[in-house]
Chains A and B, each alone.
Chain A
Amino acid sequence: MKISFSLKNFTKKEVLNENWDVIIIGGGPAGYSAALYCGRYKLRTLVITKYIGGLLNEASIVEDYPGIKRISGPELGRLFKDHAEEWGVKTLIDEAVDVRKDMDLFTISTRNGYTFKSRVIIFATGSKRRTLGVPGENLNGISYCAECDAPLYSGKVVAVVGGGNTAFHDALVLSKYAKKVYLVHRRKKFKADPVLVDEAKLNSNIEFVLNKIVLEIKGQSTVEKIVLKDRDTEDIIELDVQGVFVAVGLEPSTELAKKLGVELDDDNRIKVDPCMKTNIEGVFAAGDVTSGSCRFMQIVTSAAEGAIAAYNAFRYILRKM
Protein backbone atom coordinates (compact mmCIF):
# COMPACT_ATOMS: atom_id res chain seq x y z
CA MET A 1 0.00 0.00 0.00
CA LYS A 2 1.45 3.32 -1.00
CA ILE A 3 1.20 6.18 1.42
CA SER A 4 -1.07 8.92 0.19
CA PHE A 5 -1.70 12.50 1.15
CA SER A 6 -5.23 13.38 0.19
CA LEU A 7 -7.00 16.70 0.03
CA LYS A 8 -10.42 15.18 -0.44
CA ASN A 9 -11.76 16.41 2.86
CA PHE A 10 -10.97 20.05 2.38
CA THR A 11 -13.95 22.21 3.29
CA LYS A 12 -14.18 25.86 2.38
CA LYS A 13 -14.83 28.09 5.34
CA GLU A 14 -17.24 30.96 5.28
CA VAL A 15 -19.66 32.79 7.45
CA LEU A 16 -23.07 31.23 6.99
CA ASN A 17 -26.30 33.16 6.64
CA GLU A 18 -29.06 32.63 9.11
CA ASN A 19 -31.85 32.20 6.54
CA TRP A 20 -32.15 29.39 4.01
CA ASP A 21 -34.69 27.97 1.58
CA VAL A 22 -33.71 24.40 2.33
CA ILE A 23 -31.78 22.86 5.17
CA ILE A 24 -30.78 19.26 4.65
CA ILE A 25 -29.85 17.33 7.74
CA GLY A 26 -27.35 14.62 6.85
CA GLY A 27 -24.45 14.56 4.41
CA GLY A 28 -24.59 11.09 2.87
CA PRO A 29 -25.70 10.21 -0.68
CA ALA A 30 -29.34 11.18 -0.04
CA GLY A 31 -28.42 14.50 1.57
CA TYR A 32 -25.98 15.62 -1.07
CA SER A 33 -28.11 14.42 -3.99
CA ALA A 34 -30.97 16.47 -2.58
CA ALA A 35 -28.51 19.33 -2.13
CA LEU A 36 -27.30 19.10 -5.72
CA TYR A 37 -30.82 19.32 -7.09
CA CYS A 38 -31.76 22.12 -4.69
CA GLY A 39 -28.63 23.99 -5.75
CA ARG A 40 -29.59 23.63 -9.39
CA TYR A 41 -33.09 24.91 -8.57
CA LYS A 42 -31.28 27.99 -7.21
CA LEU A 43 -32.54 27.38 -3.72
CA ARG A 44 -30.36 28.66 -0.88
CA THR A 45 -29.31 25.31 0.51
CA LEU A 46 -27.38 24.31 3.61
CA VAL A 47 -26.31 20.78 4.53
CA ILE A 48 -25.76 20.21 8.23
CA THR A 49 -23.88 17.00 8.84
CA LYS A 50 -21.64 15.44 11.44
CA TYR A 51 -19.48 13.80 8.76
CA ILE A 52 -19.22 14.10 5.02
CA GLY A 53 -20.43 10.93 3.37
CA GLY A 54 -22.43 9.33 6.16
CA LEU A 55 -22.12 5.56 6.16
CA LEU A 56 -20.14 5.71 2.91
CA ASN A 57 -17.19 6.33 5.21
CA GLU A 58 -17.38 2.71 6.24
CA ALA A 59 -17.32 1.23 2.74
CA SER A 60 -13.81 0.45 1.59
CA ILE A 61 -14.96 -0.17 -1.97
CA VAL A 62 -18.17 0.73 -3.77
CA GLU A 63 -18.77 -1.25 -6.95
CA ASP A 64 -22.50 -0.85 -7.45
CA TYR A 65 -22.98 2.83 -8.17
CA PRO A 66 -23.76 3.04 -11.88
CA GLY A 67 -21.13 4.71 -14.00
CA ILE A 68 -18.39 4.40 -11.40
CA LYS A 69 -16.85 0.96 -11.58
CA ARG A 70 -14.84 1.10 -8.39
CA ILE A 71 -14.28 3.82 -5.82
CA SER A 72 -13.73 4.00 -2.08
CA GLY A 73 -16.79 4.98 -0.06
CA PRO A 74 -15.25 8.05 1.59
CA GLU A 75 -14.04 9.26 -1.79
CA LEU A 76 -17.48 8.88 -3.35
CA GLY A 77 -18.95 10.80 -0.40
CA ARG A 78 -16.59 13.72 -1.08
CA LEU A 79 -17.48 13.64 -4.78
CA PHE A 80 -21.16 13.99 -3.89
CA LYS A 81 -20.34 16.96 -1.68
CA ASP A 82 -18.05 18.68 -4.18
CA HIS A 83 -20.63 18.26 -6.92
CA ALA A 84 -23.38 19.85 -4.81
CA GLU A 85 -21.10 22.68 -3.69
CA GLU A 86 -20.39 23.57 -7.31
CA TRP A 87 -24.03 24.62 -7.40
CA GLY A 88 -23.77 26.95 -4.46
CA VAL A 89 -24.67 24.53 -1.68
CA LYS A 90 -23.03 25.20 1.68
CA THR A 91 -21.94 22.66 4.28
CA LEU A 92 -21.75 22.97 8.04
CA ILE A 93 -19.98 20.19 9.93
CA ASP A 94 -22.07 20.08 13.06
CA GLU A 95 -24.93 18.14 14.59
CA ALA A 96 -28.50 19.39 14.30
CA VAL A 97 -30.02 18.91 17.75
CA ASP A 98 -33.38 20.63 17.52
CA VAL A 99 -35.91 21.54 14.83
CA ARG A 100 -39.05 23.57 15.50
CA LYS A 101 -41.80 24.76 13.21
CA ASP A 102 -43.34 28.17 13.59
CA MET A 103 -45.95 28.93 10.91
CA ASP A 104 -44.17 28.22 7.61
CA LEU A 105 -40.65 28.56 8.94
CA PHE A 106 -38.39 26.03 10.65
CA THR A 107 -35.77 26.90 13.25
CA ILE A 108 -32.81 24.52 13.48
CA SER A 109 -30.33 24.55 16.35
CA THR A 110 -26.99 22.80 16.31
CA ARG A 111 -24.76 21.20 18.93
CA ASN A 112 -22.16 23.94 18.43
CA GLY A 113 -24.68 26.64 19.25
CA TYR A 114 -25.76 27.91 15.82
CA THR A 115 -29.36 28.67 14.90
CA PHE A 116 -30.76 28.80 11.37
CA LYS A 117 -34.14 29.38 9.77
CA SER A 118 -35.38 27.53 6.72
CA ARG A 119 -38.54 27.17 4.66
CA VAL A 120 -37.98 23.47 4.05
CA ILE A 121 -36.32 20.67 5.96
CA ILE A 122 -35.09 17.50 4.31
CA PHE A 123 -34.21 14.74 6.73
CA ALA A 124 -31.41 12.63 5.25
CA THR A 125 -30.16 11.49 8.61
CA GLY A 126 -29.44 7.94 7.43
CA SER A 127 -28.89 5.11 9.79
CA LYS A 128 -26.41 3.91 12.31
CA ARG A 129 -25.14 0.47 13.17
CA ARG A 130 -27.27 -1.55 15.54
CA THR A 131 -25.55 -2.78 18.69
CA LEU A 132 -25.62 -6.40 19.87
CA GLY A 133 -27.11 -5.66 23.26
CA VAL A 134 -25.11 -8.35 25.05
CA PRO A 135 -22.86 -8.18 28.12
CA GLY A 136 -19.31 -7.11 27.31
CA GLU A 137 -20.18 -4.83 24.45
CA ASN A 138 -18.43 -1.93 26.21
CA LEU A 139 -15.04 -3.69 26.23
CA ASN A 140 -12.07 -2.38 24.32
CA GLY A 141 -11.90 -4.24 21.04
CA ILE A 142 -15.52 -3.87 19.95
CA SER A 143 -15.72 -2.01 16.68
CA TYR A 144 -18.39 -0.78 14.32
CA CYS A 145 -16.02 0.44 11.58
CA ALA A 146 -13.81 -2.15 9.90
CA GLU A 147 -12.61 0.48 7.47
CA CYS A 148 -11.19 2.55 10.35
CA ASP A 149 -9.98 -0.16 12.69
CA ALA A 150 -9.06 -3.26 10.64
CA PRO A 151 -5.34 -2.38 10.49
CA LEU A 152 -5.23 -2.43 14.29
CA TYR A 153 -5.95 -6.17 14.21
CA SER A 154 -2.99 -7.21 12.16
CA GLY A 155 -2.10 -10.83 12.96
CA LYS A 156 -5.01 -11.16 15.40
CA VAL A 157 -8.10 -13.34 15.51
CA VAL A 158 -11.38 -11.45 15.22
CA ALA A 159 -15.08 -12.17 14.90
CA VAL A 160 -17.53 -10.35 12.66
CA VAL A 161 -21.13 -10.73 13.77
CA GLY A 162 -23.82 -10.53 11.08
CA GLY A 163 -24.85 -12.06 7.79
CA GLY A 164 -25.60 -9.13 5.51
CA ASN A 165 -23.54 -7.07 3.11
CA THR A 166 -21.93 -5.03 5.87
CA ALA A 167 -20.77 -8.14 7.72
CA PHE A 168 -19.25 -9.58 4.57
CA HIS A 169 -17.63 -6.26 3.68
CA ASP A 170 -16.14 -6.09 7.17
CA ALA A 171 -14.92 -9.70 7.04
CA LEU A 172 -13.26 -9.13 3.68
CA VAL A 173 -11.56 -5.91 4.83
CA LEU A 174 -10.39 -7.62 8.02
CA SER A 175 -9.11 -10.68 6.19
CA LYS A 176 -6.37 -8.51 4.69
CA TYR A 177 -4.96 -7.85 8.16
CA ALA A 178 -6.19 -10.43 10.67
CA LYS A 179 -4.79 -13.93 11.03
CA LYS A 180 -8.31 -15.34 11.18
CA VAL A 181 -11.80 -13.93 10.83
CA TYR A 182 -14.80 -15.79 12.22
CA LEU A 183 -17.99 -14.70 10.52
CA VAL A 184 -20.69 -15.41 13.09
CA HIS A 185 -24.25 -15.51 11.82
CA ARG A 186 -27.47 -16.50 13.54
CA ARG A 187 -28.89 -18.24 10.48
CA LYS A 188 -27.68 -20.98 8.19
CA LYS A 189 -28.07 -18.83 5.09
CA PHE A 190 -26.80 -15.36 4.34
CA LYS A 191 -28.74 -12.39 3.07
CA ALA A 192 -25.61 -10.74 1.69
CA ASP A 193 -25.11 -10.34 -2.07
CA PRO A 194 -23.89 -13.62 -3.61
CA VAL A 195 -20.85 -11.85 -5.07
CA LEU A 196 -19.65 -11.01 -1.54
CA VAL A 197 -20.45 -14.47 -0.18
CA ASP A 198 -18.48 -16.10 -2.99
CA GLU A 199 -15.50 -13.84 -2.37
CA ALA A 200 -15.53 -14.67 1.33
CA LYS A 201 -15.79 -18.39 0.63
CA LEU A 202 -12.63 -18.22 -1.43
CA ASN A 203 -10.80 -16.50 1.41
CA SER A 204 -8.90 -19.07 3.44
CA ASN A 205 -8.74 -17.02 6.63
CA ILE A 206 -12.50 -16.40 6.86
CA GLU A 207 -14.37 -19.14 8.70
CA PHE A 208 -18.17 -19.22 8.83
CA VAL A 209 -19.73 -19.96 12.22
CA LEU A 210 -23.39 -20.42 11.43
CA ASN A 211 -26.66 -20.80 13.31
CA LYS A 212 -25.17 -19.23 16.43
CA ILE A 213 -26.28 -16.31 18.53
CA VAL A 214 -23.96 -14.18 20.62
CA LEU A 215 -24.55 -14.50 24.35
CA GLU A 216 -21.67 -12.51 25.71
CA ILE A 217 -18.30 -10.99 24.99
CA LYS A 218 -15.75 -11.74 27.67
CA GLY A 219 -12.53 -10.05 28.69
CA GLN A 220 -10.83 -8.14 31.50
CA SER A 221 -10.68 -4.74 29.86
CA THR A 222 -10.28 -5.84 26.26
CA VAL A 223 -12.05 -8.52 24.25
CA GLU A 224 -10.77 -12.04 24.89
CA LYS A 225 -13.63 -14.39 24.01
CA ILE A 226 -16.98 -14.39 22.29
CA VAL A 227 -19.58 -16.76 23.74
CA LEU A 228 -22.02 -18.31 21.26
CA LYS A 229 -25.07 -20.56 21.51
CA ASP A 230 -26.18 -22.91 18.76
CA ARG A 231 -29.82 -22.24 17.92
CA ASP A 232 -30.68 -25.91 17.34
CA THR A 233 -28.60 -27.87 19.84
CA GLU A 234 -28.27 -25.02 22.38
CA ASP A 235 -24.61 -26.01 22.78
CA ILE A 236 -22.47 -23.17 24.03
CA ILE A 237 -19.03 -22.50 22.58
CA GLU A 238 -16.38 -19.89 23.25
CA LEU A 239 -14.06 -18.56 20.59
CA ASP A 240 -10.79 -16.85 21.49
CA VAL A 241 -10.81 -13.50 19.71
CA GLN A 242 -9.14 -10.14 20.24
CA GLY A 243 -11.73 -8.08 18.44
CA VAL A 244 -15.43 -8.19 17.63
CA PHE A 245 -16.85 -6.26 14.69
CA VAL A 246 -20.58 -5.75 14.99
CA ALA A 247 -22.56 -5.72 11.73
CA VAL A 248 -26.04 -6.82 12.75
CA GLY A 249 -27.92 -4.29 10.72
CA LEU A 250 -28.74 -0.65 10.79
CA GLU A 251 -31.24 1.42 12.63
CA PRO A 252 -32.61 4.66 11.26
CA SER A 253 -31.51 7.91 12.92
CA THR A 254 -34.92 9.42 13.53
CA GLU A 255 -34.58 11.11 16.93
CA LEU A 256 -34.76 14.60 15.53
CA ALA A 257 -37.61 13.89 13.12
CA LYS A 258 -39.55 12.30 15.97
CA LYS A 259 -39.03 15.40 18.10
CA LEU A 260 -40.61 17.48 15.36
CA GLY A 261 -43.61 15.17 15.18
CA VAL A 262 -42.74 13.45 11.90
CA GLU A 263 -44.66 10.22 11.58
CA LEU A 264 -42.62 7.01 11.71
CA ASP A 265 -43.51 3.48 10.64
CA ASP A 266 -43.32 0.36 12.81
CA ASP A 267 -39.61 0.01 12.02
CA ASN A 268 -38.91 3.54 13.21
CA ARG A 269 -38.41 4.84 9.66
CA ILE A 270 -39.80 8.15 8.45
CA LYS A 271 -43.06 7.54 6.60
CA VAL A 272 -42.88 9.14 3.17
CA ASP A 273 -45.18 9.20 0.17
CA PRO A 274 -43.75 8.59 -3.33
CA CYS A 275 -42.84 12.30 -3.47
CA MET A 276 -40.76 11.96 -0.27
CA LYS A 277 -43.20 14.12 1.66
CA THR A 278 -43.75 13.44 5.33
CA ASN A 279 -46.88 14.16 7.37
CA ILE A 280 -45.58 17.69 8.14
CA GLU A 281 -45.88 20.33 5.44
CA GLY A 282 -42.47 21.53 4.35
CA VAL A 283 -40.70 18.46 5.71
CA PHE A 284 -39.30 15.89 3.31
CA ALA A 285 -37.07 12.89 3.88
CA ALA A 286 -34.72 10.77 1.78
CA GLY A 287 -32.37 7.83 2.03
CA ASP A 288 -31.89 5.08 4.62
CA VAL A 289 -34.00 6.94 7.15
CA THR A 290 -37.22 6.58 5.13
CA SER A 291 -39.71 3.86 4.41
CA GLY A 292 -39.18 4.41 0.66
CA SER A 293 -37.61 2.34 -2.15
CA CYS A 294 -38.99 -0.92 -0.70
CA ARG A 295 -36.39 -0.37 2.01
CA PHE A 296 -33.69 -1.32 -0.44
CA MET A 297 -30.94 0.71 1.16
CA GLN A 298 -28.40 1.44 -1.54
CA ILE A 299 -26.39 4.47 -2.55
CA VAL A 300 -28.32 4.65 -5.80
CA THR A 301 -31.73 4.49 -4.11
CA SER A 302 -30.68 7.07 -1.53
CA ALA A 303 -29.46 9.39 -4.26
CA ALA A 304 -32.72 8.94 -6.17
CA GLU A 305 -34.80 9.69 -3.08
CA GLY A 306 -32.70 12.79 -2.47
CA ALA A 307 -33.42 14.05 -5.98
CA ILE A 308 -37.16 13.39 -5.60
CA ALA A 309 -37.24 15.15 -2.23
CA ALA A 310 -35.45 18.17 -3.72
CA TYR A 311 -37.83 18.35 -6.68
CA ASN A 312 -40.85 18.33 -4.41
CA ALA A 313 -39.24 20.79 -2.00
CA PHE A 314 -38.78 23.12 -4.98
CA ARG A 315 -42.43 22.73 -6.01
CA TYR A 316 -43.53 23.33 -2.42
CA ILE A 317 -41.52 26.55 -2.22
CA LEU A 318 -42.88 27.75 -5.57
CA ARG A 319 -46.41 27.13 -4.34
CA LYS A 320 -45.78 29.14 -1.20
CA MET A 321 -44.34 32.11 -3.04
Chain B
Amino acid sequence: MQRYIRFPYIAVAMGLLKEEDRQALKESFEKNLKDIVEITIFLDNEKNRDSSNTAKNIINELMSLDSRIKAKFVDARSENGYKLLKEYNLDIDTFGDRRGPIFIFNKKPEIVYYGLPAGWEFVAFIEDIIAISRNEVDLPPKVAEKIAKVDTPIDIYVFVTPECPYCTHMTQYAHKFAFLNNKIRGVMINVYEFPELSEAFHIQAVPKNVIVYNGKSILEWEGAVPEATFVEHIERALVDIKGSSNKHG
Protein backbone atom coordinates (compact mmCIF):
# COMPACT_ATOMS: atom_id res chain seq x y z
CA MET B 1 0.00 0.00 0.00
CA GLN B 2 1.28 3.43 -0.82
CA ARG B 3 1.49 5.48 2.30
CA TYR B 4 2.32 8.88 1.04
CA ILE B 5 0.03 11.25 -0.68
CA ARG B 6 1.34 12.25 -4.07
CA PHE B 7 0.98 15.62 -5.64
CA PRO B 8 -1.19 15.55 -8.69
CA TYR B 9 1.78 17.02 -10.52
CA ILE B 10 0.68 19.15 -13.34
CA ALA B 11 2.85 18.66 -16.34
CA VAL B 12 3.09 22.10 -17.80
CA ALA B 13 5.29 22.92 -20.71
CA MET B 14 6.85 26.01 -19.15
CA GLY B 15 6.02 28.54 -16.53
CA LEU B 16 6.73 26.59 -13.35
CA LEU B 17 8.54 29.61 -12.00
CA LYS B 18 6.90 32.88 -11.14
CA GLU B 19 8.05 35.78 -13.28
CA GLU B 20 9.69 37.53 -10.31
CA ASP B 21 11.60 34.34 -9.45
CA ARG B 22 12.70 33.94 -13.07
CA GLN B 23 14.03 37.46 -12.99
CA ALA B 24 15.78 36.97 -9.64
CA LEU B 25 17.34 33.74 -10.87
CA LYS B 26 18.50 35.26 -14.14
CA GLU B 27 20.23 38.05 -12.23
CA SER B 28 21.71 35.66 -9.70
CA PHE B 29 23.04 33.32 -12.41
CA GLU B 30 24.47 36.24 -14.33
CA LYS B 31 26.27 37.47 -11.26
CA ASN B 32 27.32 34.17 -9.70
CA LEU B 33 27.84 31.51 -12.35
CA LYS B 34 31.34 30.93 -13.70
CA ASP B 35 31.85 27.52 -15.31
CA ILE B 36 29.32 25.39 -17.13
CA VAL B 37 27.19 23.18 -14.89
CA GLU B 38 26.07 19.89 -16.36
CA ILE B 39 23.18 18.09 -14.77
CA THR B 40 22.11 14.55 -15.57
CA ILE B 41 18.45 13.85 -14.93
CA PHE B 42 17.18 10.30 -14.88
CA LEU B 43 13.52 10.09 -15.84
CA ASP B 44 11.12 7.30 -15.01
CA ASN B 45 8.09 7.57 -17.24
CA GLU B 46 6.68 4.36 -15.90
CA LYS B 47 6.54 4.83 -12.15
CA ASN B 48 6.95 8.60 -11.75
CA ARG B 49 5.69 9.94 -15.03
CA ASP B 50 4.24 13.24 -13.84
CA SER B 51 7.16 14.25 -11.71
CA SER B 52 9.58 13.14 -14.45
CA ASN B 53 7.78 15.49 -16.82
CA THR B 54 7.95 18.28 -14.27
CA ALA B 55 11.67 17.57 -13.80
CA LYS B 56 12.23 17.99 -17.52
CA ASN B 57 10.23 21.20 -17.58
CA ILE B 58 11.89 22.87 -14.62
CA ILE B 59 15.35 22.05 -15.95
CA ASN B 60 14.43 23.35 -19.39
CA GLU B 61 13.22 26.52 -17.74
CA LEU B 62 16.50 26.91 -15.85
CA MET B 63 18.48 26.30 -19.03
CA SER B 64 16.49 29.05 -20.74
CA LEU B 65 17.72 31.47 -18.06
CA ASP B 66 21.44 30.88 -18.49
CA SER B 67 23.41 29.12 -21.19
CA ARG B 68 25.93 27.84 -18.66
CA ILE B 69 23.35 25.40 -17.33
CA LYS B 70 23.35 22.23 -19.42
CA ALA B 71 21.33 19.10 -18.96
CA LYS B 72 21.20 15.57 -20.18
CA PHE B 73 17.93 13.67 -19.83
CA VAL B 74 18.23 9.93 -19.50
CA ASP B 75 15.41 7.43 -19.82
CA ALA B 76 16.09 5.33 -16.73
CA ARG B 77 13.80 2.59 -18.04
CA SER B 78 15.99 2.05 -21.10
CA GLU B 79 18.80 -0.48 -20.98
CA ASN B 80 21.47 2.19 -21.33
CA GLY B 81 19.75 4.46 -18.87
CA TYR B 82 19.61 1.78 -16.22
CA LYS B 83 23.25 0.91 -16.90
CA LEU B 84 24.21 4.54 -16.29
CA LEU B 85 22.11 4.64 -13.14
CA LYS B 86 24.05 1.65 -11.85
CA GLU B 87 27.37 3.16 -12.88
CA TYR B 88 26.59 6.16 -10.74
CA ASN B 89 25.51 3.78 -7.99
CA LEU B 90 22.09 5.40 -7.97
CA ASP B 91 19.98 2.28 -7.85
CA ILE B 92 19.32 2.73 -4.16
CA ASP B 93 15.56 2.40 -4.33
CA THR B 94 15.57 -1.38 -4.10
CA PHE B 95 12.16 -1.19 -2.47
CA GLY B 96 10.08 0.47 -5.15
CA ASP B 97 12.39 0.34 -8.16
CA ARG B 98 11.64 3.96 -8.91
CA ARG B 99 14.35 5.24 -11.20
CA GLY B 100 13.50 8.88 -11.51
CA PRO B 101 13.37 11.73 -11.42
CA ILE B 102 16.90 11.64 -10.07
CA PHE B 103 19.24 14.59 -10.47
CA ILE B 104 23.02 14.52 -10.26
CA PHE B 105 25.67 17.05 -11.11
CA ASN B 106 28.26 15.62 -13.48
CA LYS B 107 31.16 17.39 -11.79
CA LYS B 108 30.00 16.33 -8.35
CA PRO B 109 27.98 13.14 -8.68
CA GLU B 110 27.94 12.90 -4.89
CA ILE B 111 25.29 15.63 -4.86
CA VAL B 112 22.04 13.83 -5.54
CA TYR B 113 18.32 14.60 -5.61
CA TYR B 114 15.89 11.73 -5.47
CA GLY B 115 12.72 13.39 -6.62
CA LEU B 116 11.95 16.97 -7.46
CA PRO B 117 13.71 19.71 -5.55
CA ALA B 118 10.30 21.31 -5.20
CA GLY B 119 8.89 23.86 -2.77
CA TRP B 120 11.42 24.92 -0.17
CA GLU B 121 13.99 22.49 -1.62
CA PHE B 122 14.36 24.52 -4.78
CA VAL B 123 16.74 26.92 -3.07
CA ALA B 124 19.08 24.04 -2.22
CA PHE B 125 19.14 23.09 -5.90
CA ILE B 126 19.98 26.63 -6.99
CA GLU B 127 22.69 26.86 -4.32
CA ASP B 128 24.17 23.63 -5.68
CA ILE B 129 24.22 24.96 -9.24
CA ILE B 130 26.04 28.10 -8.10
CA ALA B 131 28.48 26.21 -5.86
CA ILE B 132 29.40 23.78 -8.63
CA SER B 133 29.76 26.49 -11.23
CA ARG B 134 32.00 28.56 -8.95
CA ASN B 135 33.72 25.51 -7.53
CA GLU B 136 33.32 26.90 -4.05
CA VAL B 137 31.08 26.28 -1.12
CA ASP B 138 30.71 28.16 2.13
CA LEU B 139 30.87 26.23 5.35
CA PRO B 140 32.07 27.33 8.77
CA PRO B 141 35.85 26.64 8.86
CA LYS B 142 35.61 24.39 11.90
CA VAL B 143 32.93 22.31 10.19
CA ALA B 144 34.87 22.17 6.92
CA GLU B 145 37.97 20.91 8.75
CA LYS B 146 36.04 18.03 10.25
CA ILE B 147 34.31 17.16 6.98
CA ALA B 148 37.66 17.04 5.18
CA LYS B 149 38.79 14.34 7.61
CA VAL B 150 35.97 11.89 6.79
CA ASP B 151 37.74 8.91 5.26
CA THR B 152 34.96 6.34 5.09
CA PRO B 153 32.45 6.32 2.24
CA ILE B 154 29.04 7.22 3.63
CA ASP B 155 25.73 8.31 2.24
CA ILE B 156 23.61 10.91 3.97
CA TYR B 157 19.94 10.52 3.15
CA VAL B 158 17.81 13.57 3.88
CA PHE B 159 14.12 12.70 3.61
CA VAL B 160 12.02 15.78 2.89
CA THR B 161 8.62 17.07 1.89
CA PRO B 162 8.45 20.17 -0.29
CA GLU B 163 6.24 21.87 2.34
CA CYS B 164 8.82 21.54 5.12
CA PRO B 165 10.70 24.83 5.55
CA TYR B 166 13.27 23.25 7.89
CA CYS B 167 14.23 20.41 5.54
CA THR B 168 16.08 22.45 2.96
CA HIS B 169 18.72 23.38 5.54
CA MET B 170 19.59 19.72 5.95
CA THR B 171 19.70 19.13 2.19
CA GLN B 172 22.00 22.10 1.79
CA TYR B 173 24.36 20.97 4.54
CA ALA B 174 24.49 17.37 3.28
CA HIS B 175 25.25 18.64 -0.21
CA LYS B 176 27.92 21.03 1.00
CA PHE B 177 29.59 18.18 2.86
CA ALA B 178 29.44 16.07 -0.32
CA PHE B 179 30.90 18.96 -2.28
CA LEU B 180 33.89 19.20 0.05
CA ASN B 181 34.61 15.53 0.43
CA ASN B 182 33.76 12.92 -2.16
CA LYS B 183 33.70 10.18 0.48
CA ILE B 184 30.34 11.67 1.42
CA ARG B 185 27.31 11.42 -0.81
CA GLY B 186 24.39 13.69 0.06
CA VAL B 187 21.03 12.43 -1.16
CA MET B 188 17.85 14.44 -0.82
CA ILE B 189 14.84 12.13 -1.00
CA ASN B 190 11.41 13.57 -1.71
CA VAL B 191 9.10 11.21 0.20
CA TYR B 192 6.18 11.74 -2.18
CA GLU B 193 8.06 10.42 -5.15
CA PHE B 194 9.92 7.62 -3.39
CA PRO B 195 7.27 6.22 -1.07
CA GLU B 196 8.65 2.69 -0.80
CA LEU B 197 12.16 3.90 0.00
CA SER B 198 10.68 6.28 2.57
CA GLU B 199 8.56 3.52 4.05
CA ALA B 200 11.64 1.31 4.37
CA PHE B 201 13.27 4.02 6.48
CA HIS B 202 10.09 4.54 8.58
CA ILE B 203 9.68 8.17 7.68
CA GLN B 204 7.00 9.67 9.91
CA ALA B 205 8.48 13.11 10.39
CA VAL B 206 10.76 15.25 8.25
CA PRO B 207 13.49 16.18 7.87
CA LYS B 208 14.69 12.70 8.68
CA ASN B 209 18.40 12.32 8.31
CA VAL B 210 20.05 8.94 7.94
CA ILE B 211 23.75 8.16 7.77
CA VAL B 212 24.13 5.10 5.62
CA TYR B 213 27.13 2.81 5.23
CA ASN B 214 27.11 -0.08 2.78
CA GLY B 215 23.38 0.43 2.29
CA LYS B 216 22.62 0.15 6.01
CA SER B 217 21.42 2.84 8.36
CA ILE B 218 24.08 3.58 10.97
CA LEU B 219 22.59 6.62 12.67
CA GLU B 220 19.38 8.54 12.15
CA TRP B 221 17.62 11.52 13.64
CA GLU B 222 14.65 13.73 12.95
CA GLY B 223 14.77 17.50 12.70
CA ALA B 224 17.06 20.22 11.45
CA VAL B 225 20.33 20.99 13.24
CA PRO B 226 23.17 23.44 12.60
CA GLU B 227 26.14 22.25 10.52
CA ALA B 228 28.33 21.71 13.58
CA THR B 229 25.77 19.39 15.19
CA PHE B 230 25.30 17.58 11.86
CA VAL B 231 29.04 16.91 11.76
CA GLU B 232 28.96 15.57 15.31
CA HIS B 233 26.35 13.04 14.16
CA ILE B 234 28.61 12.04 11.26
CA GLU B 235 31.56 11.63 13.62
CA ARG B 236 29.47 9.42 15.90
CA ALA B 237 28.37 7.30 12.95
CA LEU B 238 31.99 6.91 11.84
CA VAL B 239 32.97 5.68 15.30
CA ASP B 240 30.18 3.08 15.05
CA ILE B 241 31.25 2.02 11.56
CA LYS B 242 34.91 1.72 12.53
CA GLY B 243 34.07 -0.03 15.80
CA SER B 244 31.97 -2.62 14.05
CA SER B 245 34.53 -3.23 11.26
CA ASN B 246 37.23 -3.72 13.92
CA LYS B 247 35.04 -6.27 15.66
CA HIS B 248 34.41 -8.16 12.46
CA GLY B 249 37.86 -7.70 11.01
Contact = CB atoms under 8 A, between A and B. Distances in A.
Given A5-B119, A7-B25, A154 B7 contact: no
Contacts of A53: 165
A5 B7 CA distance: 13
Interface residues of A, number: 44
Contact of B224 (A51, A74, A143, A149): A51
A295 interface: no
A3 interface: yes
Contacts of B10: 2-3
A148 B161 contact: yes
A65 to B, nearest CB: 17
A154 B203 CA distance: 13
Interface of A is mostly: loop
Interface string A1-33: 111111111100100000000000000000000
A171 to B, nearest CB: 17
Contacts of B202: 140, 221-222
B120 A13 contact: no
Given A5-B16, A5-B58, A7-B25, A113 B143 contact: yes
A110 to B, nearest CB: 8
Interface string B166-204: 111100000000000000000000011000000000111
Contact count band on B: 35 or more
Instruction: Find the residue from A7, A10, A13, A221 having the highest chain B CB count within 10 A.
Output: A7
A52 B169 CA distance: 10
B140 A51 contact: no
Interface stretch (B65-73, B149-157, B210-218, B225-233): B225-233
Interface of B: 3-5, 7-10, 16-17, 21, 24-25, 28, 54, 58, 116-120, 122-123, 126, 138, 140-143, 161-169, 191-192, 202-207, 224, 226-229
Given A3-B16, A6-B120, A148-B207, 4 more contacts: A6-B21, A74-B120, A148-B163, A152-B206
